[in-house]
Each structure stands twice: as structure tokens, then as C-alpha cells.
Amino acid sequence: MPFSLVNGTSSVTLYASDGALLSEALNFYTNVLGFTYHSEDGNVTYLANTGASMVVKIIVSKTRGLSSSDIQTKKQEFIKILNVYDWRSVESNVVLKTASVADLTTTLQTFGFPIQVSPNEMFPNELYTIDPLGTVIGFCAAKNPLTLNPPLQKTNRLLSMEMKSTSGSQTAQLVLPSHKRNIAVMTSGGDAPGMNANVRAVVRTAIYHGCKAFCVMEGYEGLIRGGPEFIREMSWADVRGFLSEGGTNIGTARSKEFRERKGRLLGCKHLIEAGIDALIVCGGDGSLTGADLFRAEWPSLIGELKDTNQITSEQFEKHKHLNICGTVGSIDNDMATTDATIGCYSALDRIVQAIDYIDATANSHSRAFVIEVMGRHCGWLALMAGISTSADYIMIPEKPASSKDWQVQMCDIVGKHRAKGKRKTIVIVAEGAITNDLSPISAEDVKNCLVDELGLDTRVTTLGHVQRGGNAVSYDRWLATLQGVEAVHAVLECTPDTPSPLIAIEENKIVRKPLVEAVEMTKKVASAIESKDFAKAMSLRDSEFTEHLHNFLAMNSANHNEPSLPLEKRKKIAIMNIGAPAGGMNSAVYAMATYCMSRGHVPYAIHNGFAGLARHESVKLIDWLEIEDWSSMGGSELGTNRETPGDTDIGMIAYFFEKYRFDGLIIVGGFEAFVSLDQLEKARTMYPAFRIPMVLIPATISNNVPGTEYSLGADTCLNSLIQYCDIVKQSASATRDRTFVVEVQGGNSGYVATNAALCSGALASYVPEEGITLPQLEADIQHLKAAFKADQGLARSGKLVLKSSNASKVLTTEVLASIMKQEADGEFDAKTAIPGHVQQGGLPSPIDRTRGARFAIKAVQFIEENCDTVTRHKYDLDFDVSTRVVQNTAAVLGVKGSHLRFTCIRQLFDFETDLNKRMPKKIHWQKTRDISDILVGRTRVVANKNTVF
């Protein structure tokens, strides 16, 4: 077995304290590792590998070599910390290159040598052992030094080595933290799609950080029962395939016993017996309330166990404190302080899909349908479904009408919609819908009202538990994974004085919130509703919930009620689509037009982009009836193309802007739309027609528009791509020993490939920002070999590799698959899968529909607020277009971290854009990429820029 030193040197020197140890070392390096005897020179013995490219020099020295007893003590200390700390952080070591880490692992285990693999046993990229002389020696398969990217802070894993004299000899004494972390995860309460992804992330992140990972089976009931059957230690491989499965594979159950102190005492004892000192709970408010109570009582519980001799003093000292962290798994999205909960968007996707199907039948027969959805105390699902499907009316517990008025209100709105020519009626009822005197409103009540008062042919559909079922959508996989990773970091960093954290999300940022405050605020909503204080209930919901409700009410009153603005404040606002079609474009147009109508503005549609305007004067007033079902339609009903004003005739465009006297412009599109806004803003010096507020709503599956971390269409794209990958992976699993190289769109942006890799569990992904290096490709092929060998033909063993179409011009998808197949040496097969424009999606996802509506209404409000800033001096000869106040009226609306912001085009175009690459200079999704690699055990090779293809 040939070896060479990774660091590039050609020799290594070792010391043996006597002849017996020298013999043991020679036996190890020759018979186990395959070195050959080369020569002797006094007390120095030389060994060499094939070709003598590397030499091991062993010097017999009683003063410099460790004694047999010292070596045994050192081995025992290292074995003791085997699954707790990284040996590489304990002392310096020699690293050799080997052809196969997996084969060497088997050899060393056969001979009984202690080993530690990195990053995990499932996919060993590096291997470390202790030779007979007490030297820590490592092995890797790469030609270049390896780095685990990202170099995440390994909390509580830094060790120091002290050398203390004992009877004249040098004995290694390890200075360790008080104890290791054993982290358990459990799911509790109602199941939610994405819980499995959360469990997978917790288990693998814990293992990555050198901790032991456990799963508590069957929720709190598992804590009560205890034992290895219900508190199981998990390996890396145990959570394989979890990403694509719905529900929770570790079970969930509500436990009456745990609500009593006696039950919690039993749970405490069982956790201590398993050695667990950190617990991550994925569940709803009830589950998390129980978790925080468990932590609060922990000191008294463990004290009682000690006093009654149920645990030892050593166990008491070791487990004085229990760190608890919560991740919210709930389809209702009813937890305060977080924008979304794990599973809520998957449930919403089921609801919206069902209503889309029902919509066709309703339209065909001119029927009314009453849809009952889940939500006993929270109307989020009903509200978001109402926005996503342009429902006529919704009923939620947070905003009830009087017991007499709800029928009148509903029939008034439905009747007006019917009078305007609408053939179908959709009413969505949350299961917790009530009147203001707390009387429940059932779907049957609503049906009877529509039949009796309006004479409509009405049907009721109760979706029930269908809403919980099925695989998680891409967003829930992404959210659950990132929250699981952050939860592990949180419990590793927590001290006894740290309040229990809740892992939440604000806009696009994962954040930590106080668990107690979140639970208390959530419970106050239900209490406020019970006390009929509905205003307080609404105030306790997050601001986005309130915003969505106001938006729905405004859109729902379009063209039927008296406009809310006085005549002098009403504007003419145009909207257009630029670039490739993206999911959510039509939703944005619908929301913009209906909101404008409710306010009194006049909405104009510019069809077929700037080319259509310049060549055909493609301007048309938007009619309410024509767009009433646009929210649920994919593509772009306005028509779109990639031509910018500079590509057509900017003077003609200015002429038509002046002719129709537009007071504001909303552009929905991708990078071409971004460039178009820049051109229009710069043309203000010559054309007064462009001295109006202009807003860009980013919409592109590539998500490469500067100024935002999210673009409309990206979620629809990821849903379509993940569904495609799940199917391809299933095919690969059925065939056994096959990997698919999937080509992913995205231009020069690796956003889609990175997030698809995270959500599908792909073993590798290649993006334009990094290119493809041969050392990385070699490492990935070795990684695939090890993965297939570890699976041994088991089910759920299909493997994926994702490649952005622009990641390499030389290594195309076909070439990449051919190289992998060739280098696999028959251990696995490789084929290509190219979804192409399927990635643009069919029907837009609920996220793109609701965000399209939210962004469009924000854009109209921006025009309302900024119109006077530029238009009152629009035709002044000395109009200064360079002032910051004026520049801010041409902006990009985007998500930045935890905020929704308008950023002026001048700032973005001049300072934050790589125009040649059509990309923002800052890559906001790098952390996601790092996490994706860590959770599949991929090793990142330090790239040599000269070898990137």
C-alpha cells in the first residue's frame, strides 16, 4: 500500500524507547501499512514505501521515546475521548496519503488498533490511529491538504496537552472539559412535514461536532418509558433518506403522564441513565411548554433522584443542568415570534393544490365551494390560502363578525363578485372559525347560508388530515435543516444561566428567541380570543400576519366598494414583466391591480415588455374579471422578454410613458429587469417621463438580482426540482449502485443548485462561483465510492450529484457522468438527468403567490409615498436627478436578512453588482452551501485557482 506525506515532505522521524517497541513499530509499518525495510545506521532504522518516495526513520532513544506504560496510558486516554473530541485537536500528527481510507479502516480494525474517522463513520475522508510508539498518525485519500468547509467553531472541543513528570518519565495528561455533550432530539405533538429533516440535521450536526446523538422515540411517551428502545443512540446512517419522507420517523405521542411531576421525574431519570445533557424538541406550543417546564424543574427533579438514591452522586454532578432548545413543528404556523413553523408551507401547499383542482370544477358548474382547513386557534392557513387562490371570503378566529352580520357580509361580497360576472365562489373556513360571541361557524353553516340567501349550488370539502400528509416542500426542508443545525449550536453554547432558546425565522434569517416568551405570547392569543378581545389577539400575531390580512381585505374589495383614497390622490400606475417567466409574476400583477382598484388608482398593464411597448403600444387597462384567477396561474400572462429599454427605443418608451401620464412603474423580473431599471433611472436627465417612482420586484428562478436574498419564482423552481430529484433518486435506489448527475439551471448563480442539494441530500454540488477542480472531483468520486460501499445495496441508497449548467464549460454534465463512471471502477454507475425548463415550475407555489401579493402591494404603497417627491417638479429645467432623495425613488424591493427593504438602484448597480457575471458581489447563501456539504459528509478540497474548470 503506497504512502506519501500530505504536507509534501519526504520523511518522518519517530522514536522508540527500547528494542521491543522498535520491533512492534517495524511490524506495524511493514505488515499492517506495507512499508518495506530499507536500511540501518546504528540506532536508526529506515523504512520506505514503493519507489522510496517516502521514508520513515525510527530512532531508538530512551529519553525521547515513550515507555510502554506511557504509551498504554496515552492510548487509554485517547480511547476514552474517541466519540467526544477530535484527536487532531489534541496533539500534532503525521498525515499520510492512502489510496483507500475505507480499506485501511478495515485493516486497522482487523489488527485491533484504535481508530477515529473524520468527518464520520459513514463517509470516512480522513482516518487517525495511534501507532505502537504512541504517535498519532493520520491518513487521507486526497493529493492536497484537506479542509472541512466550513471551519465551524467546534464548541467545547479545544483540548490542551500537559506533560507531567512521573518517576522521571513523561506521561501525557489530557486536560478535558467537565464532560461531553450527548444531544437528544424528539418530535412531539401533531406531526408536520419537515420534522424528519429536522431530526436528520440535529443528528448529523451533533456527530459532526464530536457529540453523541440520540433520538427519543414516541415523543414524551418515550421519555416516560426510557431504555435503549425509546432513547436510541443514532449513527450517521440511521437518518439516511429522512429528507424526502413526510411525518416523523421517530414517532410522536401526547403523554398524560408527562404532564404530572411524577412523569417528569421518570423522564429525568431516563435521560440521566442515557447520559443525555441536552434536549432539542421539535413540536408545537404545548410540546415546547412542557420542554421548558422540564428544564425549570430539572434541579429539583435531579435533587429528588439523588436523595432517593435513584442516581449516583457522580451522575448528579455530571447532569446538574439540562440544556433545552425548541424548534417549532406545526402546520398551523401558530407560534409567536417566528414567521414560519416547520410544516406550515407544506400544509398550505396541499390546501392550495386542492383548491386549484376544485376551482376548475366550480368554474365548470358555476358552483360555490366551502373549504374547511385546519386551524383551531390560528387562521394563518385559511388566510394564506385565501390570498393564494383569490378566494371570495375567508373565516378565521382572529377576526370574527357578529353572530348576525357574518352572513350579511359574506353574501354581500359573494353577491357583488357574482354580479361582476364571476362564475365560481370559494369560501375558506378555518376549523376554529367563530362569531364575536364565540359561537362556532361550521362549513355546513356557510353552505346553508350560500344556498338559502343566494341560491348557489354549493358543496363542502373538508380537507382534514390530508393537510398534514405527504413529503415536505423545499422550504420546509430548508427551514427544518437550518433550524436543526442552529439548535445544536445553541445547546452547545448554552450555559446554565442561558434561557431556553427557540429557533425562529425572520424573513430570511434564522434567529434565536426566548422560548418562554414565545410560548407565553402564543397562549395569550388563545386567551384573548376566549375573552373576546379580538384586537389584542391580532396585535399578538406577528406583523406579517396582520399585513397579509389587511392586504386580503383590500384586494377582496377591489372594484366593488368605494375607493379608500380621495380623487386628487389617485394615480395611474403601470406594471410589466421583464426577463424569463417565473412563478409568482401573475400573482404580483393580480395583487397590484386589485389593490390599486381598492385605493382608487388606475392600473395599467404593459404587455410583452419594453419591446411590446415600443413597437406595438401594448398598454391596456386591467379589468378585474379578466385577471380574477391569475394568482393560481404559472408563467406570465402579460408576456415577457429579455429586451431592455436600451435594446429597443428608449425615446419611444418615454413617449408612451408621457402619453399615458404614468405616475408610477412596477417592473417584475430578473437581471434584465434590474438593468432596465438602471437605464430608466439614468435616462431621467433627458426624459421627464421617467421622473416617477419606479420599483423592481425581483422575479427569477436564478435568484441573482442584487438587493435581495429572495426572488419570486425561486421557491416554485425548487419545489419542481426537488420533486424531480426525489423521483430520480428513487429510480437510482431501485437500480442499486447508481448515481445521477442532475443539471440545474441558474445561470452564473449557484443558488438553485446549493439549495436543491440541501433539500435533496445530494452528495455533491458544483456551482459557477467555485467551478470544478480535479482534486475536488477526485475527492467526490472517492466519497461516492465510500457511500455505496457503506450502503451495501440497501434501500434508499440512490445518490445524486447536482451541477449548475454554468459550473464548467469543459466538464459538461455528460462528461462529468462519464468521468465518474470511468473512475468508479465498476463500484457504481453514473447517468445524467436534465430537467431543463421543468425547473421554471408549473403552478406557482403558495410562497411565491403570497410573496408576490405582498411585494406588489408594498410596491404600490412605495409609489403612493414617493410620487410627490419627483412628480411635483417633474418638468423643472433645473431638476436635479442626482440627489439621494430623487435616487431613492427608483428602487429594488427585496428581502435582506430579517428585513424587507427598498434599496435604490444607483447604490446597487454602482457598488453591489458584478455586471459581467450578472450577479451580486456578495453571495448570501454561502452558509447554506457549507451546511449542505457538512450534512452529507462531503470534504471540501482547497481549490487551486489555476485548476478550476
**Band of the pLDDT at 158, cuts 50, 70, 90?**
very low
Task: Please give the pLDDT value at position 7.
Answer: 46
Q: Give per-residue pLDDT as tens, 357-406.
A: 999 999 999 999 999 999 988 999 999 999 999 999 999 999 998 777 89
**Band of the pLDDT at 168, cuts 50, 70, 90?**
very low
Q: Do residues 281 and 291 touch, judged by C-beta distance below 8 A? A: yes
pLDDT for residue 6 is more than 60: no
- Which CATH architecture does the domain made up of 182-340+472-521 adopt? 3-Layer(aba) Sandwich (3.40)
Give the Cα separation of 35 and 14 in Å (integer).
14
Beta carbons within 8 Å of 169's beta carbon, 6+ residues apart: 66, 67, 69, 70
Amino acid letter, 688: P
Q: For residues 92, 94, 100 and 105, what is the CA-based torsion angle, rounded to 10 degrees?
A: -60
376 is known to lie in a ligand binding site? yes
**Band of the pLDDT at 796, cuts 50, 70, 90?**
low
323 is known to lie in a ligand binding site? no
Task: Please give the pLDDT value at position 841.
Answer: 84
Of 637 and 876, which is predicted with more confidence? 637
pLDDT for residue 833 is more than 60: yes
pLDDT for residue 138 is more than 50: yes
Q: Do residues 695 and 891 touch, judged by C-beta distance below 8 A? A: yes
Beta carbons within 8 Å of 255's beta carbon, 6+ residues apart: 219, 220, 221, 223, 224, 263
**Band of the pLDDT at 1, cuts 50, 70, 90?**
very low
CATH superfamily of 344-467: Phosphofructokinase domain (3.40.50.460)
468 is known to lie in a ligand binding site? yes
pLDDT for residue 836 is more than 80: yes
Give the Cα separation of 33 and 287 in Å (integer).
53
Its sign, for the CA torsion 41, 44, 45, 51, is: negative
pLDDT for residue 166 is more than 90: no
Mean per-residue pLDDT for 848-865?
Answer: 97
Task: Tell me which of 54-68, 319-333, 644-658 is least confident.
Answer: 54-68
Q: Locate cell 363578485: which residue?
A: 417
Please count the other Cβ atoms lying within 10 Å of the Cβ belonging to residue 471: 20
Q: Do residues 799 and 707 touch, judged by C-beta distance below 8 A? A: no
838 is known to lie in a ligand binding site? yes
831 is known to lie in a ligand binding site? yes
Q: What is the mean pLDDT of the chain?
A: 89
431 is known to lie in a ligand binding site? yes
Q: Give per-residue pLDDT as tens, 258-284.
A: 999 999 999 999 999 999 999 999 999
Task: Please give the pLDDT value at position 77.
Answer: 85
Give the Cα separation of 901 and 888 in Å (integer).
12
Q: Give per-residue pLDDT as tens, 9-40.
A: 567 889 999 988 988 888 888 878 878 877 78
Q: What is the CATH number of domain 566-712+844-917?
A: 3.40.50.450
Task: Please give the pLDDT value at position 561.
Answer: 83
Residue 345, burial from CB neighbour count under 10 angstroms (0-12, 13-18, 19+): buried
Task: Please give the pLDDT value at position 148.
Answer: 38
The fold of the 716-841+928-947 domain, in CATH, is Rossmann fold (3.40.50)
Mean per-residue pLDDT for 854-869?
Answer: 96
Task: Tell me which of 114-118, 267-271, 702-706 is least confident.
Answer: 114-118
**Band of the pLDDT at 53, cuts 50, 70, 90?**
low
- When computed from its CA atoms, the radius of gyration of the chain, rounded to whole angstroms, is 32
Its sign, for the CA torsion 905, 911, 913, 916, is: positive
319 is known to lie in a ligand binding site? no
Q: What is the CATH number of domain 4-138?
A: 3.10.180.10
Q: Which helix (H) or strand (E) holds 491?
A: helix 474-493
Give the Cα separation of 523 and 511 in Å (integer).
21
Task: Please give the pLDDT value at position 548.
Answer: 95
Give the Cα separation of 537 and 429 in Å (integer).
18
pLDDT for residue 174 is more than 60: no
| DSSP category for residue 245 | -
Decide if 182-340+472-521 and 344-467 have a common fold: yes
**Band of the pLDDT at 852, cuts 50, 70, 90?**
very high
Beta bridge partners of 604: 574, 621
Catalytic center residues: 332
Of 777 and 791, which is predicted with more confidence? 777
255 is known to lie in a ligand binding site? yes
367 is known to lie in a ligand binding site? yes
Task: Please give the pLDDT value at position 155.
Answer: 31
CA neighbor of 268 nearest in space, from 319, 314, 318: 319
629 is known to lie in a ligand binding site? no
Beta carbons within 8 Å of 279's beta carbon, 6+ residues apart: 183, 184, 185, 186, 216, 271, 291, 294, 322, 323, 324, 325, 491
Of 554 and 84, which is predicted with more confidence? 554
Task: Please give the pLDDT value at position 897.
Answer: 86
702 is known to lie in a ligand binding site? yes
Give the residue ranges of DSSP H helices in 61-192: 68-80, 101-110
Domain boundaries, the chain: 4-138, 182-340+472-521, 344-467, 566-712+844-917, 716-841+928-947
